[in-house]
Structure 1
Amino acid sequence: MPVQLKWPFLGIAIPCFLISFIGYNAHYFILSNFLSTQKQIWFEFSLTMIWFSYYLAIYTLPGQPLPNFQPSKNSWKSYCKKCRNYKPERAHHCKTCNQCVLAMDHHCPWTKNCVGYYNFPHFMRFLFWVIATTGYLLYELCLRAYFILSNHNSPTYLWNKSELIFLTILIPMDGFILLTISILFIRCLSNQIFCGRTQIETWEYERLEGLYYSKRLLPHLLANFWELYPELRTRELEDEASRLSTRRRIGLDHLVNFPYDIDPWSNTIEFLGSPLFWLWPFGKPKGDGMFFPKNDISEFEETNLTDMLLALPWPPDGGKDKVISIDGPNAVETTVRDGEQVIRKRLVDPRDPSSRTQWQNTWGENLEDFGVDVDAE
Structure 2
Amino acid sequence: MDGPWPSKFAVPAVLSLISFLSFSSQYLILQLDPGPLDYRQTLIFNSLIACLLISYARACVTDPGRIPEDWLDQFVSNGESKSDESRQRASKLRRRWCSKCNIYKPPRAHHCKSCQRCILKMDHHCPWTVNCVSHVTFPHFIRFVFFAVAAMAYLEKFLYDRAAVIWENRHLPSYLGPTVFQLVHFFLLVAANSLTLFVLAILLVRTLWCLAVNTTTIEEWEIERHETLLRRARYLGGYLNGPDGQRVRIVKQEFPYDIGIWKNLKQGMGTWNFLAWLWPLSASPSVESGLEFEENGFEDTSVSWPPPDPDRIPRIKRTFNSEDALVYNQYGQTNDREDIEAFRRRQAEDLKRWNSNAGGIQRRKPFYTRATEDGRMFDGSDASDVDIGNMEGGGEEGWRNSEGERLRDFGVDEDVEFYDEDDVPLAELIARKKAKNNAM
Q: TM-score, normalised by structure 2?
A: 0.65
In the TM superposition, what is the alpha-carbon distance from 1:186 to its structure 2 partner? 1.4
Answer whether contact 2:169 2:177 (CA < 8 A) is retained. Answer: no
The equivalent position to 1:173 in structure 2, one of 192, 196, 202, is 192
CA distance in 2, matches of 1:97, 1:289: 18
CA distance in 1, matches of 2:23, 2:238: 57
In the TM superposition, what is the alpha-carbon distance from 1:220 to its structure 2 partner? 6.9
Go from structure 1 to structure 2 and tell me whether the alpha carbon gap of 1:277 and 1:291 turns closer, same or farther (over 3 Å shift): same
The equivalent position to 1:269 in structure 2, one of 226, 251, 266, is 266
CA distance in 2, matches of 1:171, 1:293: 45
Q: Which amino acid aligns with 2:160?
A: C
Go from structure 1 to structure 2 and tell me whether the alpha carbon gap of 1:80 and 1:323 turns closer, same or farther (over 3 Å shift): closer
The equivalent position to 2:306 in structure 1, one of 307, 315, 319, is 315
In the TM superposition, what is the alpha-carbon distance from 1:16 to its structure 2 partner? 1.2
Counterpart of 1:16 in structure 2 is: 15
Answer whether contact 2:111 2:118 (CA < 8 A) is retained. Answer: yes
Counterpart of 2:202 in structure 1 is: 183
Counterpart of 1:291 in structure 2 is: 292
CA distance in 2, matches of 1:291, 1:366: 26
Structure 1: where are the runs of 5+ without partners?
222-244, 246-251, 301-310, 325-346
Q: TM-score, normalised by structure 1?
A: 0.76
Q: Deviations over 1:336-369 (max 9, x none)?
A: xxxxxxxxxxx99524335662111011111111
Counterpart of 2:67 in structure 1 is: 65
Q: Which amino acid aligns with 1:81?
A: S
Counterpart of 1:151 in structure 2 is: 169
In the TM superposition, what is the alpha-carbon distance from 1:296 to its structure 2 partner? 2.7
Counterpart of 1:257 in structure 2 is: 254
State whether structure 2 residue 103 is matched by structure 1 residue 85: yes
In the TM superposition, what is the alpha-carbon distance from 1:172 to its structure 2 partner? 1.0
Go from structure 1 to structure 2 and tell me whether the alpha carbon gap of 1:107 and 1:31 turns closer, same or farther (over 3 Å shift): farther
Please state whether the residue corresponding to 1:93 is helix, strand or coil. strand
CA distance in 2, matches of 1:320, 1:86: 22
The equivalent position to 1:110 in structure 2, one of 108, 128, 139, is 128
CA distance in 2, matches of 1:351, 1:374: 15
Counterpart of 2:147 in structure 1 is: 129
Answer whether contact 1:104 1:117 (CA < 8 A) is retained. Answer: yes
CA distance in 1, matches of 2:362, 2:405: 20
CA distance in 1, matches of 2:192, 2:170: 24
Q: Which amino acid aligns with 1:266?
A: K
Q: Deviations over 1:318-352 (max 9, x none)?
A: 7972399xxxxxxxxxxxxxxxxxxxxxx995243
Q: Deviations over 1:242-267 (max 9, x none)?
A: xxx8xxxxxx9x72110001222221
CA distance in 2, matches of 1:213, 1:349: 25
Please state whether the residue corresponding to 1:111 is helix, strand or coil. coil
The equivalent position to 1:205 in structure 2, one of 215, 220, 223, is 223
Answer whether contact 1:211 1:217 (CA < 8 A) is retained. Answer: no
The equivalent position to 1:352 in structure 2, one of 356, 359, 365, is 365
In the TM superposition, what is the alpha-carbon distance from 1:26 to its structure 2 partner? 0.4
CA distance in 2, matches of 1:220, 1:259: 23
Q: Deviations over 1:104-156 (max 9, x none)?
A: 00011101111100110000000001000111101110111101211334585
CA distance in 2, matches of 1:123, 1:351: 38
In the TM superposition, what is the alpha-carbon distance from 1:34 to its structure 2 partner? 2.5
Aligned pair count reads 315
Q: Which amino acid aligns with 2:58?
A: L
Counterpart of 2:24 in structure 1 is: 25
Answer whether contact 1:69 1:87 (CA < 8 A) is retained. Answer: no
Answer whether contact 1:358 1:366 (CA < 8 A) is retained. Answer: yes
**Which protein is bigger by CA-based radius of gyration?**
2
Please state whether the residue corresponding to 1:288 is helix, strand or coil. helix
In the TM superposition, what is the alpha-carbon distance from 1:30 to its structure 2 partner? 1.4
Please state whether the residue corresponding to 2:118 is helix, strand or coil. strand
Please state whether the residue corresponding to 1:107 is helix, strand or coil. strand
In the TM superposition, what is the alpha-carbon distance from 1:11 to its structure 2 partner? 1.6
CA distance in 1, matches of 2:411, 2:104: 19
